Structure formats: structure tokens, C-alpha cells
């Protein structure tokens, strides 16, 4: 069987996707540039675990280097399946370093699409984001909803990836699926996300900034559910007679209060949080909730992990990894 290419393989979701594929005896080629957006040691620790598998092969590569990506495709002409997860993440950071987003998310995505023109790709699955829904006030968010009111440059770049993918799919018959992820959390997570930030603050007796005075709700979705949905999608490419580009929501079909999320962490850790209620930040939205009807119908996606179970797993990993 041909290898699966996973970009962003040292990232949070990418690492877990690689682990899943390797456990089912797939050969995986991982790409990552190991940048310092957050602690590279965490990325290297994930990568070290992946490299214990004989069927994992790693290439350090920056996708914004289109010449290098083209050369990579020339060296690996038998890649038929791609899970493209590499991206510059984070809504708030896009206010500070916008060019990091155009470089990684737009140029990098275009480089992957150009590589797909060289390769015998049977399915390209790529990461989009719930951020594309922007100022949309209709809940739950549906893939049929308009997405022309972005709240951040990050959202703009992710929507651009969707449009580029539709175009390339149409022009060059590349079977492609974009997955709009909703607030993913779990072991090996990113340090810039809420579960990580809150856990660290509670354990270190630091203050937690809680935006919009705590009046926020999110589709917190556990990593195992996200991975299972991603792989189920990868295994279910568009039918030859159907449209070759699709979009799906991948998230919980219920939203959790941000304050409930914090209180659950307090209970698991056994310490009270020091909360600093603050105004909503530029680029943030008050509530997200996914309509996953289509996702469930087409490839059986159904998240199973509640926040009590998911946060328990996360805190256990955090304590073990950091020796706390």
C-alpha cells in the first residue's frame, strides 16, 4: 500500500493522526518545519515518539518553500493519500504576525495543491477551521452557511484554502475534503489553547484571563474523536460521479460554557482557579457549535468523549509530561 503523507506531523492533531495510521500498519511520511510558534521541545517530543515506529519517515520541510515541496513530490511519486494539517495556528497571533499566516497557510497550501498535480492523489484531506464562520450568528454552524464575514486573518487564510482547494479540485480532478475543526483539546495539545493555558495557570497559582467576562461557549472536541473523524473521512473519498471537493464540520454537536470548562478543570486538579474576567478580544466569537448532521451521515462521525473524561486524560498527560 502506498504511504500516507501527513503534513504538520509534529503538531498536535498531526501527531495523533500519525499514531492512528501507524497503529493500523500504514506507512507514514511526516512533514513539519518544527517552527518556534510554541515550544519546539514539545514538537520534538511528539516526533521522537513517532520515530519509534519503523513505518514512520520524517522530512523536515517548510511548505512555504514551494521549490522544496515540488522536489519532495518528485522524490515520492507514489503518494496517493494526503492529510494536510500543517498551518500557522492561532487567532490572536494573527494580529501580531500576519505574514506568518499568508506564508504558511496560503503559500503552503498552494504548494501542496501543486504537488497534488504531480502525484496520483486519490484523496486530499486538509484542515480548515470553525473560525471561517466569523460573525455568523446562526447556530449551529452549517457548511451551507455563508462565510464572508471573517473575524481574523487566520480565518481569512483558512477560507482561502477552501476556495483554492475547490478550484484545483475542479480544474485538475483532485478529490479533496476540507474539515472545519472546532476547538480541539487533549493530551499533547498546543500550549496556546485553553485547556493547556488553564491547567498550567491553576497548577502554578497563576491568574487565568477569561474573556467576554466568561460569557463564551465552545464546541470543545476531544482529540480522539477528531482523529477518528479525520481518518473516516480519509477512507471515504468523494465518489467519482460526485463533486470532487467537499466540506465538513468536525466538532461536538453541543457547546460547553467556558466557565463550566474551567470548573471541571478545578475539580480534576483539586485546586481553585484565580480568574480575571476581561472584555472579549479582537477576533474572538462568543459561541461556536457545529452542525455535524452531514458529517455523521457521510462517514459516521459521532463524538463520544465528554469534557470530564477528556480533561481528565489531558490533566493526567500534563502532570506526567511536565513532572508535576
Residues with catalytic function: 154
> CA-CA distance, 258 to 287, in Å (whole number)?
10
The C-alpha R_g of the chain, in whole angstroms, comes to: 19
**Spatial CB neighbours of 183, under 8 Å, sequence gap ≥ 6:** 130, 193, 194, 218, 219, 220, 221, 251, 288
Between strands 81-84 and 123-129, the pairing is parallel
**Spatial CB neighbours of 225, under 8 Å, sequence gap ≥ 6:** 252, 301, 303, 304, 305
Between strands 207-210 and 274-277, the pairing is parallel
- 160 alpha-carbon distance from chain centroid: 16
Contact 286, 280 (CB under 8 A): yes
C-alpha cell at position 90: 492561532
DSSP alpha helix (H) spans, the chain: 12-23, 40-50, 66-75, 93-96, 98-101, 108-118, 153-172, 194-203, 223-234, 258-269, 293-299, 307-322
> CA-CA distance, 17 to 31, in Å (whole number)?
13
Half-sphere exposure of residue 47: CA atoms within 13 angstroms, side-chain side: 21
For residue 256, the cross-strand partners are: 218
Burial of 234: CB neighbours in 10 Å, binned 0-12, 13-18, 19+: buried
**Spatial CB neighbours of 77, under 8 Å, sequence gap ≥ 6:** 118, 119, 120
Amino acid at each position: 500500500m502506498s504511504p500516507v503523507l501527513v503534513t504538520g506531523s509534529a503538531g498536535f492533531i498531526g501527531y495523533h493522526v500519525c499514531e492512528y495510521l501507524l497503529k493500523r500498519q500504514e506507512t507514514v511520511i511526516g512533514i513539519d518545519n518544527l517552527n518556534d510558534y510554541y515550544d519546539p521541545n514539545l514538537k520534538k517530543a511528539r516526533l521522537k515518539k513517532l520515530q519509534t515506529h519503523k513505518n514512520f519517515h520524517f522530512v523536515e520541510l517548510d511548505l512555504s518553500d514551494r521549490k522544496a515541496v515540488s522536489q519532495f513530490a518528485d522524490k515520492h511519486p507514489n503518494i496517493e493519500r494526503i492529510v494536510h494539517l500543517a498551518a500557522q495556528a492561532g487567532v490572536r497571533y494573527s494580529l501580531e504576525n500576519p505574514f506568518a499566516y499568508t506564508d504558511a497557510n496560503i503559500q503552503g497550501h498552494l504548494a501542496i495543491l501543486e504537488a497534488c498535480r504531480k502525484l496520483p492523489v486519490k484523496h486530499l484531506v486538509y484542515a480548515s477551521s470553525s473560525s471561517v464562520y466569523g460573525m455568523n450568528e446562526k447556530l449551529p454552524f452549517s457548511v451551507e452557511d455563508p462565510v464572508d464575514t471573517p473575524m481574523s486573518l487566520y480565518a481569512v487564510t483558512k477560507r482561502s484554502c477552501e476556495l483554492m482547494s475547490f478550484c484545483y479540485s475542479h480544474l485538475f480532478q483532485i478529490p479533496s475534503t476540507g474539515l472545519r475543526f472546532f476547538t480541539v483539546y487533549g493530551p499533547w495539545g498546543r500550549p496556546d489553547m485553553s485547556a493547556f493555558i488553564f491547567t498550567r495557570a491553576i497548577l502554578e497559582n497563576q491568574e487565568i484571563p477569561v474573556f467576554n467576562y466568561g460569557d463564551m461557549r465552545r464546541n470543545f472536541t476531544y482529540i480522539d474523536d477528531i482523529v477518528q473523524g479525520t481518518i473516516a473521512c480519509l477512507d471515504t473519498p468523494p465518489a467519482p460521479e460526485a463533486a470532487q471537493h467537499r466540506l465538513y464540520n468536525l466538532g461536538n454537536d453541543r457547546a460547553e460554557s467556558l466557565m463550566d470548562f474551567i470548573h471541571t478543570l478545578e475539580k480534576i486538579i483539586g485546586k481553585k482557579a484565580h480568574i480575571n474576567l476581561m472584555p472579549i478580544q479582537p477576533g474572538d466569537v462568543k459561541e461556536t457549535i457545529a452542525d455535524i448532521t452531514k458529517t455523521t451521515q457521510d462517514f459516521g462521525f459521532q463524538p463520544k468523549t465528554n469534557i470530564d473524561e477528556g480533561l481528565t486524560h489531558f490533566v493526567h498527560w500534563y502532570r506526567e509530561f511536565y513532572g508535576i
